Amino acid sequence: MSSNLTAMCSAQAIPYPSITGVKFLTMSANVVSNYTKFVPDYYNFNHPNITVENANFCNITVSYTHPGENDQIYAESWLPLDGWNGRLQATGGGGWVAGRFKLSYYNMAGAIAEGYATITTDAGLGSATDASPWALTSTGNVNLYKLQNLGSVSLYEQSVIGKALINSFYGKLPNYSYFSGCSQGGRQGMMVAQRYPDAYDGIAASAPAINWDELIMNLFYPTLIMNMAGKYPAGCEFDAIVAAATAYCDAADGVADGVVSTLYDCDFDPYSVVGQTINCSTTGTTRVVSETAALIANVTWEGSRSANGGFLWYGLNYDANLSGDGSISAGAMDTTSCTSNGTCTSNSWVLPTQWIQYFIEKNPDYPLGNMTHETFDALFHAGKQQFDDIISANDPDLTAFKAAGGKLISYHGKADSIIPTGGSIHWHNAVNATVPGIDDFYRLFLIPGLSHCSGGAGGQPTTTFNSLVAWVENGTVPEYLPVSWNSSGTTFTRNICKFPEETVYDGVGDPSLASSFNCV
């Protein structure tokens, strides 16, 4: 442990950063010694499993406000006391949380393990996993300053603060600066690339929640249809339909490997499962798969549609978990709650319900159960009208990011159970139509069988961040991301090609080996 750096770990030794429009309020700095933590890949998206052992770092936490906005934002940075690799790695959040919560600390521990200085921000929202503590200043009035801080403002300040603290602490700026996140963190990364193109040299922004209103309203759509029908299937009914769809669609790519590699391209009929008797763990009884379950599965796969049948947003793929996400995110499209006697009710989760109640309607008591399809359409449109410029990160003009030399990598699971893969494809195509030479700075990888950020039957691309670093620093272009998974006792490996290329079986080699597949 460097004695000079240890002495520098003092609030009195470190000046406040300087940011126009910002007033710094407090700073604390303390030495953390012998920090040890195992960081699993399913908590540290874009990265492999890693253990930080006996690390020593300086924890510097600053608070600040934007005068006149009545906010207080905390940014927390961990700076290695020995073995700093000369780089900054900023981290993102999840759900309604900007950062500085459980996932952030796993991400920061992983960064410290590899010698990075790292930083997280709470955007002035705290660590609550729902928006109720901050969304409204009063009934009828959204706290637009805090939504703006979450949307974009705190992200710029996170990068400036991180670099300034590094410069004060080590006596020089980082050689390279990176951002890593998934889901909300993916949205944050995409927003930084769009609005603050000089903030980072490289951004890993996976399963990004970029089209905020569309995807959040899309999460509520199956609940709308269930409410309109007045029927709520048990989760095990959806599980049975998904299992049948997966088995049916699995071999469409020429290989039966336990995952559905094709996207939105299978003619499976969910009504073929109706009438089957299944064991239902949610009720502890047997249950018959209902027509309503088939209907809801179908509309979830199709995606949101208006009352007159017009397209609103993309649906999930056939092997996505509909009843409850097996990854880190606590939510799914078709969640219901069932009693032991088999009676089930709606159980739509906090993201869509609070988006509608607190932000669009600005009334936490707004009733959701009586919503008509026409009302849903109106709310869908109102959310975009009022908040798209604040929270959505879907501006395809990355000209400035490309000109700054930035590199952007994103992966998205084809079996994502929350954020439809179609949203990432939609945005990639928009960027491609706007900025020439997209492959020079932005690459998207679609991962078969992978759920939201992690989990699911497919493999997680744990080399994403290291591939980004190699691209930024060595010019090593990431043509593919390797993944592996186990199905029925067989380990399958794949090199997932960059979109729009597909990883296609050659028809002759061992289908469990990556060498038997080509990018087409």
Tell me how far apart the alpha carbons of residues 228 and 369 are, in angstroms, rounded to a whole number.
8
Tell me how far apart the alpha carbons of residues 402 and 399 are, in angstroms, rounded to a whole number.
5
Distances (CA, A) of 350 to 16, 26, 232, 353, 358: 37, 33, 18, 5, 11
Which residue in 47, 412, 428, 452 is the catalytic one?
Answer: 452
Tell me how far apart the alpha carbons of residues 386 and 14 are, in angstroms, rounded to a whole number.
41
**Residues in Cβ contact with 338 at an 8 Å cutoff, skipping those fewer than 6 apart:** 234, 235, 280, 282, 283, 344, 345
Tell me how far apart the alpha carbons of residues 483 and 496 are, in angstroms, rounded to a whole number.
7
C-beta of residue 468 within 8 angstroms of C-beta of residue 461: no
SS3 category, 443: strand
C-beta of residue 33 within 8 angstroms of C-beta of residue 170: no
DSSP, residue by residue, 119-185: EEE-TTSTT-SSSTTTSEEETTEE-HHHHHIIIIIHHHHHHHHHHHHHHHHHSS--SEEEEEEETHH
Tell me how far apart the alpha carbons of residues 29 and 10 are, in angstroms, rounded to a whole number.
5
Which residue in 183, 392, 424, 467 is the catalytic one?
Answer: 183
Active site residue 397: no
Active site residue 183: yes
Instruction: Give the DSSP H or E segment for 36.
Output: strand 23-39
The secondary structure of the chain in percent helix, strand, coil, rounded to multiples of 5, reads 35, 25, 40
Tell me how far apart the alpha carbons of residues 383 and 363 are, in angstroms, rounded to a whole number.
14
Rounded to the nearest 5°, which phi and psi values hold at 500?
Answer: -95, 10
C-beta of residue 282 within 8 angstroms of C-beta of residue 221: no
Which residue in 416, 428, 451, 467 is the catalytic one?
Answer: 416
What one-character DSSP code corresponds to residue 305? B
Peptide bond into 500 cis (omega under 30): yes
Instruction: Give the DSSP H or E segment for 204.
Output: strand 202-206
Residue 274 amino acid letter: V
Distances (CA, A) of 470 to 150, 178, 179, 424, 437: 30, 12, 14, 23, 19
Angle of helix 235-249 relative to helix 291-302, nearest 10 degrees, comes to: 60
C-beta of residue 60 within 8 angstroms of C-beta of residue 14: yes
DSSP, residue by residue, 40-105: -TTTSTTS--EEEEEEEEEEEEEEEE-TTS---EEEEEEEESS---SEEEEE--BTTB-SSSHHHH
What one-character DSSP code corresponds to residue 370? T
Residue 162 amino acid letter: G
Active site residues: 183, 416, 452
